[in-house]
A and B are shown apart, each in its own frame.
Chain A
Amino acid sequence: MARISIDPVTRIEGHLRIDVEVDGGTVNKAWASCTMWRGLETILRGRDAREGWVFAQRFCGVCTTVHGIASVRAVEDALALDIPPNAQYIRNLILIGHALHDHIVHFYHLSALDWVDVMSIPKADPARAASIAESSSSWQGNSRRELEAVQNKVKGIVAGGQLGIFSHGYWGHPAMRLSPEMNLILFAHYLQALEFQRKSCQVVAILGGKTPHIQNLAVGGVMNAINLNSLATMNMDRLGMLQAILEDLIPFVQQVFFVDTCLLAASYPEYFHYGRGVANYLAVPDLPLDARGTKFDLPGGVIMNGDLASVRSMENWKDEPFRKAITEDSTHAWYQGGGPVEPYKGETTPDYTDFKEDAKYTWVKAPRYNGSPMQVGPLANILVGYASGHALTRKWTNAAFDRISAVHGLKVVPNDMQSTMGRYLARAIRSAMLSELALEHLQLLTTNILNGDDTTYNAPQFPSGEIMGMGMHEAPRGALSHWVVINKGTFTNYQAVVPTTWNASPRDQNGVPGPYETSLIGNPVVDAEKPLEVLRTVHSFDPCMACSCHTLDATGKEIAQVKVQ
């Protein structure tokens, strides 16, 4: 039996250590450890509730926007404050832009090289690659000339021996099975994706003032002034600019990202059988369509034990069962305390002990829903939508299944989605859905403005006593909730239950492991020195640990290592 420690797991956001025990070529035990402390909750105590979102955006270095949104929603929930429709649409467009950016970066720049062998690209036949790509998609960037140019760049890198950031890939690993032509196609799109993740950011920046760390939020709405006769405010030029960017971006999402993920799924069908993990799923409703938050374009709900027929829909953010069901357990986390505590009473007092697999071993608490671990993320989002009959989810999920079947005849059904590959596919399906909704929400905003509504903000009024609120957001990595206790307009407690806390959850007081840990059980590991299969499953969750201290290192000290004992 071999013990493998991967520390840190790279090509993720933040700091994650994975330990697995491998016996007979498969994983039989796993531990996930977040190695940095977040601690933002401590800073937020005592702050003015109207400015919490500015600080909350620093929960993460990448998903800054989502924490700002969850923060204002939590305070607005405590105040039972209505949000003007214009503000809802502007926020929704920001969230869509951010999510598309995040999903594109995850598939191409953070995880594609787990599947794509860059070193085989020089062997590809560009004409054949172009033929494959052009038969799969109407995308303009699949020509032989385009692919030849990319191949020549890779040949230059390989011939010159200057592999740079590609030096440490698991090239030639037996689990890398794409043809040289498929590797060339996907790597060409990897480079093209740089342009389109940029366009997603432009959507966020135009509406948010800047990104990362948008500046337009306010408790009660947004600070975007609307005046069709002013050059300095939201006007028809600005709306037209958004329309043009989205019309550039959407074909990449639907004709490239979505298609590539289906091709990858068809090429690695065994990954529909690995990595299922915790089969309880949680998604929260999002993209609100009215001031009170009673109608949504993305559905929420809960599925237990992998039984799609068991789906319980969450109609809105006031869902009492959800609010009562959530607890966090610190038994195996480096915090004081132990058993489950509801977020409003949560504490984040550190109690570091070093990595002790039978005691405390991570900075992540163990969130539970009625005592059960839950998997969150695009897969939960898609399964809840599919099981509850959400039309847009079914449309794009069925389109994905049809595409996969068209490649090698592989028949995929919704239950197969509960897997490592299902998580990749769900992210692409969700992106296609969001790309369609982007234009719809832009149209809703434009129509509302043209109907004469220029309201974007309702001023909050804080009562003198204690109030509590919870703000939800279905973030790119899954269900996010911020829980606040406010007294006289000041935070007296602040707790964030973030998607990666759900997925990277350690064992709880009953010894029940979380989704990462469970998903690794049964994964094959062909080469213990190069545990590529483990990384594929971990990366399928798009881990985003708390972003923390970083410094450039001009001395180039290596701190990552894979230890095999």
Chain B
Amino acid sequence: MNNVVPTEQRAVSVIGLGNVFLGDDGFGPLAVETFRCQYECGPEVEVLDLGTPGLDMAPYLYGRDLVVIVDAVHSDSPSRAVSVFCEDEFASSRACLRITGHDPGLWDTLTHLRLADCGPTELIVVGAAPESCVFGDGPSAAMLNLAAEAAASIAQVLTRRGFPCIHRNVAPQPNLWWLPLGSMEGPSVPEVHVNA
């Protein structure tokens, strides 16, 4: 989970977006950290928690073959489920997103990069509808339970495009440092599956 290696060598960015201190808004960082722990990927895959970067997202999308954005998503998809969107599914609403104060800047960044001929070849969004974005409470139980499913969805997206992801037999504990004090020992920490 570092970006010291020059980005020219990277093909894939898996990016978690969201404010980890605002409940379910932190679904993206939760899901990518779960993915990082549960799956082993090649060096061409970069897994990043970018928080709420706005237009500062550009360096992490620059010239990539594939970008997988993981975030809380308002959509017509069923609640308590992980959905996978392709870029075109957001296209009709881009003009409005341009002026939304809560927009993370993704579409502006993509437009800039594409005009400069250095946008990602493909962009996929893995998301789930937030239940509660309350300051300081950590993610809801529903979102915590969806983290492993989101990780599996990310792995499936990558594998289908020729970037193998191997499920670890023994997965390290995800580093969810932002959860409220004491909750790391409670049942709300996402389950890390260990295969026999």
Contact = CB atoms under 8 A, between A and B. Distances in A.
Interface centre among B20, B94, B100 (most CB of A within 10 A): B100
B76 A550 contact: no
A549 B75 contact: no
A381 B77 CA distance: 50
Interface in A526-565: 547-560
A167 B55 contact: no
Contacts of A417: none
B102 A554 contact: no
Nearest to A556: B93
A61 B112 contact: no
B116 A553 contact: no
A153 B115 contact: yes
A470 B135 CA distance: 26
Interface stretch (B36-44, B45-53, B149-157, B163-171): B45-53
B104 A552 contact: yes
Interface string A129-151: 00000000000000000000000
Contact of B95 (A10, A62, A167): A167
B108 interface: yes
B95 A164 contact: yes
Interface in A212-263: 212-213, 215
Contact of B135 (A39, A61, A197, A555): A39
Nearest to B127: A552
Contacts of A550: 17-19, 25, 52, 102-104
A467 interface: no
Given A168-B98, A197-B58, A198-B7, A552 B113 contact: no
A559 B98 contact: no
B54 A549 contact: no
A13 B25 contact: no
Contacts of B106: 552
Contact of A553 (B2, B22, B102): B102
A552 B90 contact: yes
How many of chain B's residues touch chain A, expressed as a range?
Answer: 35 or more
Interface residues of A, number: 62
Contact of A552 (B1, B73, B135): B73
A13 B56 CA distance: 10
B94 A165 contact: yes
A209 B21 CA distance: 23
Contacts of B21: 39-40, 43, 58
Contacts of B125: 552
B90 to A, nearest CB: 6
A277 to B, nearest CB: 24
A211 B118 contact: no
Contacts of B96: 553, 556-558
B70 to A, nearest CB: 10
A406 interface: no
B172 interface: no
A25 interface: no
A366 to B, nearest CB: 22
Nearest to B51: A61
B137 to A, nearest CB: 11
A212 B3 contact: no
A205 B98 contact: no
B48 A210 contact: yes
Contacts of B95: 163-165, 167-168, 556
A247 to B, nearest CB: 15
A210 B74 contact: no
Interface of A: 7-8, 10, 13, 15, 35, 37, 39-40, 42-43, 46-47, 54-55, 58, 61-62, 64, 101, 105, 109-110, 153, 157, 163-168, 190-192, 194-195, 197-198, 201-202, 205-206, 209-213, 215, 547-560
7 closest A-B pairs by beta carbon, nearest first, are A556-B93, A61-B52, A8-B101, A554-B75, A556-B96, A198-B59, A560-B99
6 contacts: A43-B21, A165-B108, A211-B3, A549-B22, A552-B74, A554-B93
Interface of B: 1-4, 6-7, 17-22, 25, 48-56, 58-59, 62, 69, 71-76, 85, 89-90, 92-104, 106-108, 111-113, 115-116, 118, 125, 127, 130, 133, 135-136, 177-178, 181
Given A213-B49, A552-B106, 9 more contacts: A47-B181, A163-B95, A168-B98, A194-B62, A202-B7, A550-B18, A551-B73, A552-B90, A554-B74
